[in-house]
Amino acid sequence: MQKPILTKKLFREYLEITLGVFMMSIAIQWFYVYHSLVTGGISGLAIVFYNLWNIPLSLTNFAINVPLFLIGFKLMGIDIFVKSLYTMLMFTLALHLVTYVPPIHPSLFLSVTLGSAIVGAGTALVIKNNATSGGTVLIARLLEKLLGRFKVTTWILIADLVVITIGMLVFGIINTMYAVVAIFVIAKVADMALTGAQNSKAMYIFSDKSEEVSQALMKSINRGITSLRGKGVYTGKDRDILLCVMNNSEMIAAKRIIKETDPKSFIIVTSAHEVYGEGFIPLEQK
């Protein structure tokens, strides 16, 4: 039996990509264009062209991205290419359609915060579904392939810095400083949207009283604990390393319990941005 071309999962992915590009487009049109905020990427370059020569953002996005996609076809697998091409075309269409939406004339503060939050959330929807709208990401992949001196992430940074520098020369240093803040907000919101807003902690506990510590923790904070076998290189002694994932409030209680049970314990606490399973986010939701 032949599998259907359009599955429910694929439909949801394209729906989320479409929502993401429209969120990005309306935020760029409402917030960034109004205050001339150039945050990098082709959209940032499009804002420069719009202010200098009144060229529509959608036209710049299309004119620059089409040759990039033609050149970069071999750098992407067919699935990524099709999704990215759809994203780029839909982004171009969205940039055109949102020009018919009445402007709201927001304050600069709202543009940097709310506008960037919307762009960040829209960007996360696109990235989450394994797509890209082209622009500096595709330029970076081409430069990495042709020159190979830096990683693709470094090339993205270089390409965005070039666009931001152009924006600074056209709009001045103050606008550029606000744009840098906007970039930070975009990155933080996109990261939260992709990894989840939860801020769980992973605690590693080194103790000569591992059994007593683990029992005290399980009784008090009701979290599962994993015992890992380890060996001290200096002492040559085998010991158990306890691993427990918990939330912030539980971590405070856990440190108190460990201190009471074994004051000589050695503890390492790290952030765990994505935790799935019992007691956290159900795995079937992902």
The pLDDT value given to residue 139: 75
Rounded to whole angstroms, how far apart are CA atoms 197 and 245?
A: 16
Q: Number of folded domains in the chain? A: 2
Answer yes or no: do 231 and 271 share one domain.
yes
The yes-or-no verdict on residue 286 having pLDDT over 60 is: no
Q: Has residue 118 been placed in a domain?
A: yes
Domain end call among 175, 195, 215: 195
Answer yes or no: do 255 and 270 share one domain.
yes
pLDDT mean across residues, the chain: 82
Answer yes or no: do 190 and 204 share one domain.
no
Domain end call among 161, 195, 229: 195
Percent of the chain with pLDDT over 90: 18
pTM: 0.70
Query: Can you name the residues that pair with 230 across neighbouring β-strands?
Result: 239
The yes-or-no verdict on residue 179 having pLDDT over 70 is: yes
Closest CA to 41 of 252, 27, 271: 27
pLDDT band at 49 (very low <50, low <70, confident <90, very high): very high
Answer yes or no: do 253 and 213 share one domain.
yes
Q: Which of 112-116, 117-121, 191-195 is predicted least confidently?
A: 191-195
Answer yes or no: do 56 and 189 share one domain.
yes
Strand extents, DSSP E, the chain? 200-206, 226-231, 238-246, 266-272
Q: Has residue 115 been placed in a domain?
A: yes
Q: Has residue 113 been placed in a domain?
A: yes
Closest CA to 116 of 32, 34, 195, 58: 32
pLDDT band at 3 (very low <50, low <70, confident <90, very high): low
Rounded to whole angstroms, how far apart are CA atoms 256 and 164?
A: 48
Domain end call among 195, 212, 239: 195
Residue 213: domain span: 200-285
Answer yes or no: do 149 and 274 share one domain.
no
C-alpha pair distances (Å), 234 with each of 231, 237, 238 = 9, 8, 11
